[in-house]
Amino acid sequence: MTALTLSTAAAAGLRADAIVIGVAKGDRGPVVAPGAEAVDKAYDGRLAGVLETLGATGAEGEVTKLPAPSGFKAPVVVAVGLGAQPGKDAGFDAEALRRAAGVAARALNGSKKAAFALPLGDAADAGTIAEGVLLGAYSFDAYKEQGPQAQGAAKGSAKAPLAEAALLGGKPRDKAYKAAIDRAAAVAEELNRARDLVNTPPNDLNPEAFAAIAQAAAKEHGIKVQVLDEKALTKGGYGGILGVGAGSASGPRLVKLSYTSSKATKTLAFVGKGITYDSGGISLKPAGHNETMKCDMAGAAAVFAAVVAAARLGLDVNVTGWLALAENMPSGSATRPGDVLRMYSGKTVEVLNTDAEGRLVLADALWAASQDKPDAIIDVATLTGAMMLALGSRTYGIMANDDAFRAAVHEAAEEVGEPAWPMPLPEHLRKGMDSATADIANMGERMGGGLVAGLFLREFVGEGITWAHLDIAGPAFNEGGPFGYTPKGGTGTAVRTLVRVAELTAAGDLG
Ligand code: BES
Ligand code: MN
Ligand code: ZN
């Protein structure tokens, strides 16, 4: 990952491949953002005019490269758009800053060192810019044989991420600045690892492989880990996880990660859907619907990353992560539509559609999490295409059995720059899941399919436990081009929300 430093150096004297500055969209053309005063001065105060001549407007996502003024050691200035100029006395919105830093970092991939002269007023800004840089510089090229790791990289192949970023205007000896940078690095590193897991092809990341990665990370960070394999799942009666995994040559796993703090007064449980590949099973998905289904473990990846980040940050809250891992495949041993599964909670479920598998693995994991009586449970899942239709590909849906908790999680999401929206759990949709044979069916009405799934999950949350469900089917995997600090492919959605919820809980500030 990109190495970060805080620097008090003057822009002109800095040895770097480029200097990044911000440009905002003003009423009468582009405006040079604070932080770039020295650069502007070296252009005799005409930088805004020069940028306008080059076509820059200050729009979000815009990158304009120009030769550095004489006397500068760095050869290039990279001007990145920050969007609308904030009103008088107002600073730039944190997300605008984070995105601009990400865009610049991605534009600089292939370079060794860049100096960032973006608006940096306090330690929080330093953390924001650092996060944008580290997330924006991400690239996944483990499978590119002609990529940067290979000798004699082919023309047009992926570029190595920016190696070093110096944040100008930062105070390297100030504790708050250093803490902000360290937090950004821990969160971004784990988030990028979640992206790697999502991007890893499903022939290499099966439930067993995912569990082994979780075990190794847990060991490294002092997290207690327990892995239930098929034998243990059978013995324990985890019919949901076993039923979904039954068709695959790679058996299912349930991983429990426990981070504990001696100063904790609260315990959070995070539960992740970890379908390492979702073919739909016997209710097979048609071509056109399964090419991206390696992303169906994004919830488990987010939970895993959040628990490790909480441990690395040493938060004063206990965080338990549950990874419900299975591969959903059709075969002679697969669960059939019509089968009835006896779940870990004791309830029976008639499987009407084997493609509604996420709720089955989550049901067992939610019930398992409930046995520890945590103060709250949050599950994260690429659960329904319906949620994607409702909210699009950049916003996730939040459902909950508690209005205040749903609002608090939503607030945390917006605060960290993860667009989310509250969704209801309408009681009338429950009867659509009534089954003639079993206690409940795994499918109900088609209309409001995301909410139906939420209602199904609610049945497997222990009595009296506060619970929220994040359906990240839309934003978990970016099928379009990169934007802001979000790459193509796995995005790491929900990691920062979970970490923020853990931080707020540790501080006694949630809700
Ligand atoms: N993993 C899918 C949901 C999904 C779709 C995630 C698109 C990301 C992108 C889930 O397991 C699924 O197949 N859901 C079905 C449920 C239906 C059969 C009730 C769906 O949404 O169509
Ligand atoms: Mn499915
Ligand atoms: Zn699925």
Report pLDDT digits (tens) over 219-230. Answer: 999 999 999 999
Q: What is the mean pLDDT of residues 443-452?
A: 98
Q: Across the strands, what pairs with 318?
A: 267
pLDDT of 151 higher than 90: no
At 155 the pLDDT is 47
At 365 the pLDDT is 99
- Choose one of 284, 290, 355 to mutate for the ligand 1 pocket test, by most ligand atoms within 8 angstroms of C-beta: 355
Give all strands (DSSP E) within 147-266, no chain letters: 164-168, 224-228, 253-259
Residue 262 buriedness (CB in 10 A; 0-12 / 13-18 / 19+): exposed
pLDDT of 156 higher than 70: no
- Residue 411 Cα to ligand 1 midpoint, Å, equals 26
pLDDT confidence tier of residue 432, bands split at 50, 70 and 90: very high
CA angle 268, 271, 274 (to 5 degrees): 155
pLDDT of 145 higher than 90: no
Question: Which among 73, 285, 342, 458 is annotated as catalytic?
Answer: 285
Task: Sheet containing 340-342: give its strands across.
Answer: 340-342, 348-350, 440-441
At 148 the pLDDT is 57
406 a catalytic residue? no
Number of residues that this document lists for the chain:
511
Mean pLDDT over the full length of the chain:
96
Residue pLDDT, tens place only, 165-222: 999 999 999 999 999 999 999 999 999 999 999 999 999 999 999 999 999 999 999 9
- Residue 412 Cα to ligand 1 midpoint, Å, equals 26
Task: Report helix, strand and coil shares of the chain as percent, to nearest 5.
Answer: 35, 20, 45
- Residue 289 Cα to ligand 1 midpoint, Å, equals 9
At 159 the pLDDT is 84
**Closest ligand to 471 CA?**
1
Question: Which among 359, 406, 496, 500 is annotated as catalytic?
Answer: 359
359 a catalytic residue? yes
All domains of the chain in start order, with CATH: 3-169 (3.40.220.10), 189-507 (3.40.630.10)
443 lines ligand 1 (CB under 6 A): yes
Q: Ligand 1, closest atom to CA 442?
A: 19
pLDDT confidence tier of residue 150, bands split at 50, 70 and 90: low
384 lines ligand 1 (CB under 6 A): yes
Q: What is the mean pLDDT of residues 406-426?
A: 98
444 lines ligand 1 (CB under 6 A): no
pLDDT of 379 higher than 50: yes
Residue pLDDT, tens place only, 78-134: 999 999 999 988 899 999 999 999 999 999 999 999 999 999 999 999 999 999 999
pLDDT of 146 higher than 80: no
Q: What is the mean pLDDT of residues 51-65?
A: 98
At 88 the pLDDT is 86
pLDDT confidence tier of residue 32, bands split at 50, 70 and 90: very high
- Residue 502 Cα to ligand 1 midpoint, Å, equals 28
DSSP H/E element including 339: none
30 lines ligand 1 (CB under 6 A): no
How crowded is the C-beta side of 468, counted as CA atoms within 13 Å?
A: 30
pLDDT of 157 higher than 80: no
Residue pLDDT, tens place only, 328-375: 999 999 999 999 999 999 999 999 999 999 999 999 999 999 999 999
356 lines ligand 1 (CB under 6 A): yes
- Choose one of 383, 384, 395 to mutate for the ligand 1 pocket test, by most ligand atoms within 8 angstroms of C-beta: 384
